[in-house]
Amino acid sequence: MEALALVHDPSMIREGRTYYVFSTGNPRVGGGGIQMRASEDLRQWRFLGTAQPEIPDWIPARLPGVRSLWAPDISHYNGRYQMYYAGSLFGKNTSVIGLCTNATLDPASPDYRWMDEGLVVETTGEQPWNAIDPNFVLDADGVPWLNFGSFWTGIKMVRLDPATRKPDGTEPHVHALASRPAPPHAIEAPCILHRPPYYYLFVSFDVCCRGVNSTYRIAVGRSASVTGPYVDAEGTPMAEGGGTILLETQGTAIGPGGQSVHRDPDADYLVYHYYEGDNEGRPRLQIRELRWAEGGWPRLGPPIIERRTP
């Protein structure tokens, strides 16, 4: 498979000199497990296969018909790499967020082995929110949180237990961060970056997964607290539909979204997919440096990965 083809909902991390990108699975590739790619320069990427050989049995037991895992979020915490991911049925809020961990991301290492940690958050259709698109974040005090969600009543957050990396049961159990009250309630793919004194919440507005007809675009707001309230550059609360647009369709790079943020010691990067308008609308990886304007709002540098010429 061409290294940058079929990348959807990417999440990036660096181990040593190597960057790794994890992305949504595809039933035609590795049985639907999370896809994995590597690069030393952010420009040239190689496909490493899937992070897990199979979808864990507990997911189809809860959600018959699941064919792939979605929207991974990779991070390093308490000495191990951890990857949250979602299992769902498209267009429904019967969903699960799972977790697996590893000592290393290098498949050549003898210590490389993904350990399934099981269920983290679940929605059964009874809840007014949706357990997909997880994102792990630490607050200023080192407390771990997981934000997630889409459509329905929007983006939510739960506090995690540092030992289990799962919800710790404190109240209120679910914090509301952002929503789009007007139909079709199209908001998803939350990602939080802590850049003191603010937490920045990046989300995707509108609709993905329709190739050249996708309308995804990336918006951002910020808050002095990890649990909000988040507001955009005009002061509109994200809980009331606010969000400053950071990136939208540009030429044949259609529907950018499904984003995550990676922090290097000397730079911040926005990692996302877009749909190739000149290649049948296939999803493809792109990375841009996040630059910070006066007033503390992010701006984007040019695309780092060279556009493929059909």
Which class would CATH give 11-303? mainly beta
Average pLDDT per 10 consecutive residues for the chain, totaling 310 residues: 80 98 89 94 95 89 93 97 94 94 97 96 92 97 96 95 91 88 90 98 96 97 98 97 97 97 96 95 96 94 80
**pLDDT value for 310:** 46
**pLDDT value for 207:** 93
Question: Tens of pLDDT along 42-51?
Answer: 999 999 999 9
**pLDDT value for 171:** 66
Please check whether residue 158 is in contact with residue 142, taking contact to mean a CB–CB distance below 8 angstroms.
no
9 is catalytic: yes
Which residue out of 9, 73, 133, 232 is catalytically annotated? 9
Please check whether residue 75 is in contact with residue 81, taking contact to mean a CB–CB distance below 8 angstroms.
yes
Which residue out of 73, 133, 188, 232 is catalytically annotated? 188
CA dihedral 222, 225, 230, 231 (to 10 degrees): -60
188 is catalytic: yes
Specify the length of the chain in residues.
310
What span, in angstroms and rounded, lies between the C-alpha atoms of 37 and 46? 6
